[in-house]
């Protein structure tokens, strides 16, 4: 009897594992942050980055969608660590339309791409310079993955 239940148990165990994005990080410059790019924008242009954070704003423009992201360090799965100190803000530019309700403020996003330029803007009343990236891959984290801690639950019970 136990051998018949083992496959079901293993299937349930595997389905509980969350999938993580598969980013090719071989060309990524891990030393760069949005703040360091602003400080040395000329030498950073064209470098490959892997940044992630919280979406602050999603704006549909005439032919593109623009995300403003507050960057955080990433864990080994490339998910932003919201309990760490922010690393600055950056902009992700997407050619075409993306639904703002899907890419809503507060959602976590990780982007792999190249630094294309810097852009001036405002944060409240203050002037701010953003690093702008053109991405090759985006990963919008599911609402379930907003937790910073992984938990494992195992239980046996009878329900009616």
Strand 108-123 relative to strand 88-95, pairing = unpaired
CA-to-CA distance for 152 and 80, rounded, in angstroms? 21
Give CA angle at 131 (145, 133), nearest 5°.
65
Report pLDDT digits (tens) over 76-128: 999 999 999 999 999 999 999 999 999 999 999 999 999 999 999 999 999 99
């060309």: which residue's tokens?
27
Give residue 1's pLDDT: 53
Give residue 24's pLDDT: 81
3-state secondary structure at position 68: strand
Query: What domains does the chain contain, in order, with CATH numbers?
Result: 22-141 (2.40.50.140)
CA-to-CA distance for 15 and 19, rounded, in angstroms? 10
Give residue 155's pLDDT: 55
Residue 8's Cβ-count burial label (10 Å; 0-12, 13-18, 19+) is exposed
CA-to-CA distance for 17 and 49, rounded, in angstroms? 27
CA-to-CA distance for 116 and 104, rounded, in angstroms? 24
Stretch 132-151: mean pLDDT = 76
Sorting pLDDT into bands at 50, 70 and 90, what band is 158? low
Give residue 143's pLDDT: 82
Query: Cα 73 vs. chain centroid, distance in angstroms?
Result: 10
- Residues 6 or more apart from 118 whose CB is under 8 A from it? 37, 38, 41, 129, 130, 131, 132
Report pLDDT digits (tens) over 15-72: 444 456 778 888 999 999 999 999 887 788 999 999 999 999 999 999 999 999 999 9
């Amino acid at each position: 009897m136990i051998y018949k239940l083992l496959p079901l148990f293993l299937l349930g165990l595997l389905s509980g594992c969350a999938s993580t994005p598969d980013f090719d990080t071989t060309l990524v410059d891990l030393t760069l942050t949005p703040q360091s790019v602003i400080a040395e924008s000329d030498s950073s242009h064209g470098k490959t980055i892997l940044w992630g954070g919280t979406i602050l704003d999603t704006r549909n423009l005439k032919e593109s969608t623009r995300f403003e992201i507050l960057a955080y360090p990433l864990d080994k799965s490339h998910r932003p660590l919201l309990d760490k100190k922010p690393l600055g803000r950056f902009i992700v530019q997407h050619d075409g339309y993306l639904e703002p309700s899907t890419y809503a403020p507060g959602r976590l996003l990780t982007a792999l791409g190249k630094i294309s330029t810097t852009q001036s803007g405002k944060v409240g009343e203050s002037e701010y310079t953003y690093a702008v990236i053109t991405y090759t891959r985006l990963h919008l984290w599911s609402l379930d993955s907003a937790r910073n801690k992984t938990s494992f639950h195992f239980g046996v019970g009878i329900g009616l």
